[in-house]
Chain A
Amino acid sequence: MRRYGLPGLVVAALLAALVAGADGPVGAQSVPRQLRIAIGIDADRLDPAEQTTTTIANIVDYMFETLVDLHPIKQQIVPRLATRWQVSRDGLTYTFTLRRGVRFHDGTPLNAEAVKFSLERLKDPKVAMALRFLVQPVQSVEAVGEDTVRIRLNKVTPTFLSDLSTTQFAIVSPAAVQRAGDRWRSAPVGGGTGPYMFKEWRRGDSILLERNPNYWGKKPLFDEILFRVVPDAGTRLTQVLAGDVHQAMLPPAPDVKGLRRNPQVKVVEAPSDRVIFVAMNTQWGPFKDVRVRQAMNYAVNKKAILASVLFDLGTVSDSPCPPMMFGYHKVRDGGWPFSPTRAKELLAQAGYRDGFEVNFFTPTGRYIQDFQFAQAIAGQLRNVGVRANVTTMDWPSYVAMIQTPLERTRIQMLVLGWAWPVLDCDGVLYGQFHSSSHPPRGLGPAFYSNPRVDQLLDQQRQEANVERRKALLKEAQETIWNDAPWIWLWSQKWYVVTTRNLDGVLIHPIEKWTALCEPQEPAVGHHCVNWR
């Protein structure tokens, strides 16, 4: 017995572990002091103005607040740091009244000067604001009184209020920014008004926030929130199962099916505004012919791929613009129909009875199951005679390939996802289908060009009247859909897994989640996270 002591123990331990199964201790019922959330990437910068990814902007949202909020359920603009606002009849002047008695984390008051400072800062070239074109319409910001701000625009901008709700437009404390200097982007101490305050960023490991005891809105539930950087999806899930964290973003997609049935955890999933598509280079060979592009759409069975390859983590596209965006118009109920027969007919009419060969690029690990669904699509195209050769590459090379101008592009067909921080069809339609979006100026790899669509998209950018603007966007969506520069696939879901005690976590359509009260303005009916 003595001789086999140690190996025996190990075997016993292994057996015990297997027998014990998943019946680990369940988290206590009392509210934990620290809420721990596993995220997939480390922050780059914490300055709200310099945000480029929704995951990090999401963390910044716990510390900083904007003038207005996007209501996550009603999807309309509601008050936050501004309690009300007026728009002049010509649509060029916005006057905001600020919430009284709000203080930044450093104790300085929120006032009109702080708003002016925050918005003017966005034009400073030293601030790396990726979506700077969002501030281009701002001509001047004027502090009219202690709590009144007047913003003048140089052109009518229908999306302006929505733009103001994005993280980049958060109001920061001028004193805190000046005090932090060079350290501001890595340690924004005292700079926000939000329910949590910056405490510590341990690079590659975690970001720690602490409760703002003087928060103007509903008092935050947890003393601290720890965002832990866990790059591996499997490990994130393991940490939730082990009780190390209370919430994890994007566990491995193939596990989601099982997790939905696991009583220990909750899967919170919701549609996002990220459309996933196969762009066809409309100026290359067979794809110059609209019938071929339509045939490609008929050949792909979106529903089957969603069910079997994406574990239902997506919703079939029925318009070039995803639902929940302003101006969305459902062009085709249920998406482009699946009909290999029709596809073959169209291909024959276009002179491709025997099909053709095409390069098909896809990233790996960028979108849910991207490499896997690209292969499924290639398999279905083979059934109608189109031989698509699937190639993948690392993301930087992929982006470099997309940025190549038409004369030198290798693109014939490729997988891409597109999302927009503002819930307005303009983002995807202008960004992908206007002629100005052709690489290298833009990143619309379909090289799609239709003068009528250009005209409609330009007009809607100048149209202040909501109904007329909707009509313009509707026609644009119908025209683009039928021109079929893409294989219309789906908009993908965003999902997190939480311990079962955490209740009320909300997923925003812009790939964010929240474990706070949303929106903060109680008057419009807020919804708060809870611990049960």
Chain B
Amino acid sequence: MGAYILRRLALAVPTLVGVTVVVFALIRLVPGDPARLVLGLQASEEEVQRLRVQLGLDQPLPVQYARFLGRLVQGDLGRSVVTGEPVTREIAARLPATVQLAVASTLLATVAGMAAGVISATRQYSWVDYLVMTVALFGISLPVFWLGLMLMLLFSVHLRWLPAGGYGTPAHLVLPTITLAAFSVAIIARMTRSSLLEVLHQDYVRTAWAKGLGARAVVLRHALKNALIPVVTVIGLQFGGLLGGAILTETVFAWPGMGRLLVGAIVARDYPVVQGAVLVFAALFTLVNLAVDVLYAYVDPRIHYG
């Protein structure tokens, strides 16, 4: 297992280098001049040109890329064009908020989604099943910004139970978590339901019923564990995605996470921050995928990494 993990981590390096090439090229392919955007429309062309030289933007692209890589191997992601601060500091300031929200909403989505999926699968074609799946459909279809604003109107403006956006206390976490989890709950519920249904019709489950086991044991211990593989995959993907920030939820709730940092950097053509943030996402995503693969072996003992 240890050797497997090490091999996977080594394999991640070429992936991440590939990511740097793509991001580096993409952000420069779209029109826009970071120096002009930072200094504004009224700044004189001389001033803008001076900043371009300071930022090294007057150099050919291969030179710029080589400099970027050279710094990267020393753990330096450069400095933000907009704030002049080291990119690592910018990301470090935003990562905790993103991780909090991603962990909270993944936990909520996992618990609620799997519960809904199990209830639905065990009562297939009953009104409960229809109700759960209809709600799940809403969860997938509702635009996040609308759901977020509606929750705020209800719980912040009318009831005054929770703050309308912002960051800091556990109370601030509640509404964004629900908003963000709505989509994942729905996906996880549907995946749990279909995967569990498939398993519930298999021979060994019939054997378990025949042995006279209770419903709880049959469904949760025998069936669910075998139905978990696709569900774990989905949860892993959702969690990985959420670690990359949730731009709409972060915007609506004024949540200072990575999504807003990245989109803000794209809009300002803040090349170093875009590169740094995407690299961090890619690394996190790779780690989550690895964790999911390791979890497979735990969930299904037939899976074995040599």
Q: Determine how close the nearest CB of chain B comes to the CB of A132; give it in whole angstroms.
A: 5
**Which of B30, B156, B164, B168 has most chain A Cβ within 10 Å?**
B164
- Known A-B contacts A42-B264, A399-B32; the reply to A17 vs B254 at CB < 8 A is no
Answer yes or no: A228 CB below 8 A from chain B CBs: yes
What string of 1s and 0s marks CB contacts (under 8 Å) between B32-50 and chain A? Answer: 1100111111111111001
Answer yes or no: B51 CB below 8 A from chain A CBs: yes
Q: Of A13, A130, A203, which one neighbours B42 at CB under 8 angstroms?
A: A130
Closest to B47 in A: A132
Complex Cα spacing A131 to B38, Å? 12
Q: Which residues of B contact A14 (CB under 8 A)?
A: 154
Number of A residues near B (Cβ < 8 Å) is: 60
- Known A-B contacts A22-B157, A186-B85, A238-B153; the reply to A420 vs B42 at CB < 8 A is yes
Whether B163 lies near A232 (C-beta < 8 A) is no
Q: Which residues of B contact A44 (CB under 8 A)?
A: 38, 82-83
Answer yes or no: A394 CB below 8 A from chain B CBs: yes
Answer yes or no: B93 CB below 8 A from chain A CBs: yes
Complex Cα spacing A18 to B157, Å? 11
- Known A-B contacts A52-B38, A418-B41; the reply to A231 vs B254 at CB < 8 A is yes
Q: Of B30, B32, B157, B159, which one neighbours A238 at CB under 8 angstroms?
A: B157
Whether A229 lies near B256 (C-beta < 8 A) is yes
Closest to A230 in B: B254
Q: Determine how close the nearest CB of chain B comes to the CB of A423; give it in whole angstroms.
A: 14
Answer yes or no: B193 CB below 8 A from chain A CBs: no
Closest to B83 in A: A44
Q: Which residues of A contact B252 (CB under 8 A)?
A: 232, 234-235
What string of 1s and 0s marks CB contacts (under 8 Å) between A201-227 and chain B? Answer: 011111000000000000000000000
Whether A130 lies near B40 (C-beta < 8 A) is yes
Q: Of B30, B38, B93, B158, which one neighbours A397 at CB under 8 angstroms?
A: B30
Whether A235 lies near B41 (C-beta < 8 A) is no
**Which of B33, B43, B97, B267 has most chain A Cβ within 10 Å?**
B43
Q: Determine how close the nearest CB of chain B comes to the CB of A188; give it in whole angstroms.
A: 13
Q: Which residues of A contact B163 (CB under 8 A)?
A: 242, 244
Whether A131 lies near B82 (C-beta < 8 A) is no
Answer yes or no: B190 CB below 8 A from chain A CBs: no
Q: Of B41, B160, B264, which one neighbours A243 at CB under 8 angstroms?
A: B160
Complex Cα spacing A232 to B260, Å? 11
Q: Which residues of A contact B94 (CB under 8 A)?
A: 203-204
Whether B40 lies near A400 (C-beta < 8 A) is no
Q: Determine how close the nearest CB of chain A comes to the CB of B48; give it in whole angstroms.
A: 9
Answer yes or no: A396 CB below 8 A from chain B CBs: yes
Whether A205 lies near B152 (C-beta < 8 A) is no
Answer yes or no: A25 CB below 8 A from chain B CBs: yes
Q: Which residues of A contact B293 (CB under 8 A)?
A: none
Interface residues of B in 15-45 (CB under 8 A from A): 30-33, 36-45
Whether B152 lies near A242 (C-beta < 8 A) is yes
Whether B165 lies near A239 (C-beta < 8 A) is yes
Q: Determine how close the nearest CB of chain B comes to the CB of A334; give it in whole angstroms.
A: 29
Closest to A427 in B: B42
Complex Cα spacing A22 to B145, Å? 21
Q: Which residues of A contact B93 (CB under 8 A)?
A: 202-204
Answer yes or no: B226 CB below 8 A from chain A CBs: no
Whether B37 lies near A204 (C-beta < 8 A) is no
Interface residues of A in 4-43 (CB under 8 A from B): 13-14, 17-18, 20-22, 24-25, 38, 42
Q: Which residues of A contact B90 (CB under 8 A)?
A: 203
Whether B253 lies near A204 (C-beta < 8 A) is no
Q: Which residues of B contact A206 (CB under 8 A)?
A: 166
- Known A-B contacts A235-B252, A238-B164, A244-B163; the reply to A443 vs B41 at CB < 8 A is yes
Residue pairs across A and B with Cβ atoms less than 8 A apart, 6 shown, are A130-B40, A229-B256, A238-B157, A239-B165, A244-B164, A399-B37
Top 10 A-B residue pairs of the complex, sorted by shortest distance between their CB atoms: A396-B32, A204-B256, A400-B31, A205-B256, A130-B39, A203-B93, A242-B156, A17-B158, A230-B254, A130-B43
Q: Footprint of A on B, CB under 8 Å?
A: 30-33, 36-47, 50-51, 54, 82-85, 90, 93-94, 97, 145, 149, 152-154, 156-160, 163-168, 251-254, 256-257, 260-261, 264, 267-269
